[in-house]
Chains A and B, each alone.
Chain A
Amino acid sequence: MRTSEILVDHFSVALGESTFTVDDAARAGKTVSSPATLKESGFRLHHVCGAGTTSYDLAYRAVNEIRGALGDIGAVVYATCIPANGNVGEEKKFRDTGDVKHLMNFPASRLQSAFAMERAVVIGLNQQACTGMLGSLRLARMMLTEEPEVGRVLCLTADRFPEGALYEQSYNLVSDGAAACVVSRGPGGFRLLACHGITNGALAVASDDEVVGSYFSYTYRVVQETLAKASLAIGEIDWIVPQNTNIKAWQILARLLKFDFARVAMPTLGDVGHMISGDNIANLKRLMEEKKIRPGERVLLVTAGYGLNWQCAILESAAENG
């Protein structure tokens, strides 16, 4: 292992505790598309938090799963897709008292305390939508490069949709959930070869049609620019692990990228759904559990989200994983 290497490891996922089928979701009025359309897209189940479960609860469960591997965390990057999930305070208390501290009850701070990560500085990342998790990897990499004393960074994303929300966004069936991982100097896990992102703020309030209209060209671009950063060609990538979205969209993108669609992996599409910003981690974790990724293989993670944002990261399975 080279000393300058940054590695990602210890992946975990926590889902909303109630599981529903596509048909259940449609019957409950939580979807826009027909059940048949969502099923054809690859969705089968989704997961929803109970009334008393917060996004912080999801974050806690995800981190708790890997608490034995946390070590001496020097920073926590806590990403939420929905900015409101970056506050666990009660908005009603603010309205009653006028005291804005109720709007600044940060889950990242609470998490730091709960897991005794006393040395950790916390960073909230809440304006990158579904790409926040990949954004957190990028921040972690920057920190570890610029401030080596940080040592280990806990990256996580946690979201639950508010009561009354539709659970379909941009034609994807959404699940409440959290995902976490640790970025460090290893050993083990995946080398983080490159991170890259594009934001097009002019499309911040894009319609669903504009989101889809820009999806292919910008996703293609963010992949190409990330490959260039890593000095790699698409032929040197073994797996593409995208967010959970319509499978046909990736059949098309794979062809555009000249990449074998059989190596585009969304193994949790059916039983997890679109877990907002955690899809890449859920899919990567599943691939690892199924021992599909061999040492030395390169994995490209890519996600699009509101903002509009596109982010991409390239990982390489370390030999220690063999």
Chain B
Amino acid sequence: MNAESKTVLITGGDGYLGSSLAASYLESTDASLILWLRAGGAEEFENKKSALQRRFAGHASRLSYAAGDLLDDEPFRALDPRGIGGIIHAAAVTRFNVDETTARAVNLEGACKLFRFATGCPSLEAFGLLSTVYASGLAPGAIAEAPLDDGHGFSNFYEWSKWASEAALLKHFGDLPWRIFRVATIIADDERGTVRQQNAFHNTLKLLYYGLLSVMPGLPETPLYLLSGEFVSRAIFALMRRPSNRVIYHVCHKREEALPLRDLVDIAFEVFSQSEDFRLRRILKPLYADLGSFELLADGVEKFSGAVVSQAVASVAPFARQLFIDKDLKNTNLTAALGRYPDPELRRLAAETCRRLVESRWKPHGHDAR
């Protein structure tokens, strides 16, 4: 999309990917941006806006802000659709343990509200929907960059809601100049392993480090598709600016470059062992449990453990089933479009991420002020 002379609307503009994409546009184009922020009231909006104004201090003239809530009937009513040339929908609830009602209301119905708004944007050239490779649910084997069905079910309502929002876009708003970005698991901001926003991946490593998770659901050979946020942001930015619409991209590595679960655990323990604190405690690598064993644990753990272990297991449980699924994610569209491909050194990325997590003892790094 040649959006340099038009305005780009980014929902979830203060979120991890939303704000990273905003930074890319501000640094590499002349486009004006509208950062749409979820805010329950004026104070929350002002706080979020102030943080972004500080972060993007050199670009104030190109930035405007809007507030709303995807639960509202018309969350984008205040926006002028004229002049909007691009939309990136990054707002979503991304917790794996999100409940069905919230997932439906925010991730599906909220997305549909934006799709409807987009149909009224006369100059719209590109609409990017941020999704996840796990919108493919529990489907094993080859996963093409193509529309998905829900035949294999899902591990959690987050996955389902992202699949449902894709399906709604394709079925009811297919005329939009859409492109869908199915993103793999972001484990670090960059190749140095800096972690600004933590998710279930980091929480699981934390549990392993502190010896609170001695049973790991999954098969040791299950491939894990891991990425840096920097790569994801760059890829989506580049793909949004391409002229081709109605394309689905898997923003991930190929299966042969993915990291088996066993290798990730081995790397983590190798890095952890460089810490004397960890080494002295002689924490054993976790046992790989079948799904039934892990579900027994998740079901009964509060009966024979304290709050910390219960919460630990509960945090892993919503994506446990994925760790048994061998997905062969295809990324033909991605590689064809980008021409160059990200450094596939996932082992190094995983090791650096573990190292930084241990150094910080899982305290998130502050915002990068670039």
A residues near B, CB below 8 A? 33, 37, 40-41, 170-171, 200, 202-203, 207-210, 212-218, 220-221, 245-246, 248-249, 251-252, 255-256
Contact = CB atoms under 8 A, between A and B. Distances in A.
Interface string B273-306: 0000000111111110110110011011111111
A256 B215 contact: yes
Contacts of B307: 209
Contacts of B314: none
B303 A214 contact: no
Contacts of B283: 214
Nearest to B289: A256
A252 B306 contact: no
Interface string B207-232: 10011111100000000000000000
Contact of A171 (B213, B292, B304): B304
B282 A248 contact: no
B281 A212 contact: no
Given A203-B281, A217-B285, A252-B297, A212 B290 contact: no
A94 B256 CA distance: 71
Contacts of B284: 214, 217-218, 221
Contact of B214 (A171, A207, A208, A216): A216
Contact of B306 (A212, A218, A221, A255): A212
Contact of A216 (B215, B280, B302, B303): B215
B121 interface: no
Q: Which 10 A-B pairs have the closest CB atoms?
A: A217-B214, A248-B300, A246-B304, A213-B212, A212-B305, A217-B284, A255-B293, A209-B308, A216-B214, A171-B304
Given A209-B305, A214-B284, 6 more contacts: A37-B303, A212-B305, A213-B210, A213-B305, A217-B215, A255-B289
B286 A245 contact: no
Nearest to B290: A255
Contacts of B289: 252, 255-256
B288 to A, nearest CB: 9
A245 B290 contact: no
* Number of chain B interface residues as a range: 20 to 34
B180 to A, nearest CB: 39
Contacts of B304: 41, 170-171, 212, 245-246, 248-249
Contacts of A203: 211, 281-282
Given A245-B304, A248-B296, A256-B287, A212 B309 contact: yes
Given A217-B214, A251-B296, A208 B281 contact: no
A209 B309 contact: yes
A210 to B, nearest CB: 6
A41 B283 CA distance: 26
16 contacts: A37-B303, A41-B303, A170-B304, A207-B308, A208-B306, A209-B212, A212-B301, A212-B309, A214-B283, A218-B284, A220-B287, A246-B300, A246-B304, A248-B296, A248-B303, A256-B293
Nearest to B305: A212
B33 to A, nearest CB: 45
Nearest to A198: B282
B138 to A, nearest CB: 21
B305 A208 contact: yes
A215 B214 contact: yes
A207 B306 contact: yes
Nearest to A40: B303
B282 A200 contact: yes
Interface string B86-107: 0000000000000000000000
Contacts of A202: 280-282
Contact of B303 (A213, A218, A246): A246
B312 to A, nearest CB: 8
A214 B214 contact: yes
Contacts of A208: 305-306
Contact of B213 (A40, A41, A213): A213
Contact of B211 (A37, A41, A210, A220): A210
Given A252-B215, A256-B215, A217 B286 contact: yes
A209 B306 contact: yes
A220 to B, nearest CB: 6
Contacts of A33: 303
Contacts of B300: 246, 248-249, 252
A207 B312 CA distance: 15
B188 to A, nearest CB: 26
